[in-house]
Amino acid sequence: MVIVALVMTGLLAAAPGTTAQEMDDAELEELERYVELVRSDLKKDRVRLVGEAMDFSAEEAALFWPIYSEYEKEFSEQGDQRLILIGEYSANYWNMTDDKAKELAFRALALEEQRTALKKKYVEKIQAAISPVVAARFLQVENQINTLLDLQIAEQLPLIE
């Protein structure tokens, strides 16, 4: 897990910090580009990080990676929805209405529910194919990677004025 933390910290530490009061339209657009960049960098290293953290036997690896490939595809599709949501937040940042804030909040909650459902689905698949221990380890690794990513995005996303 130290490897995951170090790599993610290195990937994510390069972003400039900005307070909400200093945020203008150009910076909001930059935030969207930054989130996509972090996401694409993470995609490059995610499989390697998961493999190192999971420490599979050859038999476990042969069973795990096809399942993980399915998971990663679905997770990426959910990530696309999150980027759309961040884009809408950025587009409405300066003229946020109560209705738009309510819509965005409930869409963000729905995305969290979908992420949890996706992890549950794949924990069950891994339990059935390999073991509950490997499935629990997968969940830990995914939660650590996603938490680091979520924290970095949250740090860069200004609060609604």
- Give the Cα-Cα-Cα angle 155, 149, 26 (nearest 5 degrees): 50
Asked if the model's pLDDT at residue 11 lies above 80, the reply is no
**Region 142-147: what's the mean pLDDT?**
91
Q: How far is CA 6 from the centre of its chain?
A: 17
- Element (DSSP H or E) covering residue 146: helix 132-156
Its sign, for the CA torsion 65, 67, 73, 78, is: negative
Mean of pLDDT over the chain: 82
Asked if the model's pLDDT at residue 34 lies above 80, the reply is no
pTM listed for this prediction: 0.74
Asked if the model's pLDDT at residue 99 lies above 60, the reply is yes
Structure tokens that stand for 107 in this block: 């869409």
**Region 149-159: what's the mean pLDDT?**
83
Of 81, 77, 103, 80, nearest to 92 by C-alpha is 103
| Long-range pairs of 120-126 with CB within 8 A, sequence gap ≥ 24 | 122/67, 122/68, 122/70, 122/71, 125/67, 126/64, 126/67
Asked if the model's pLDDT at residue 146 lies above 80, the reply is yes
Of 34, 27, 47, nearest to 145 by C-alpha is 47
Asked if the model's pLDDT at residue 41 lies above 90, the reply is no
Task: Give 105-141 pLDDT, tens digit per residue.
Answer: 999 999 999 999 999 999 999 999 999 999 999 999 9
**Alpha helices for 16-97 (secondary structure H):** 25-54, 58-92
Count other Cβ atoms within 10 Å, centred on residue 23. Answer: 20
Query: Are the C-beta atoms of 89 and 157 separated by less than 8 Å?
Result: yes
Task: Give 60-85 pLDDT, tens digit per residue.
Answer: 999 999 999 999 999 989 988 998 99
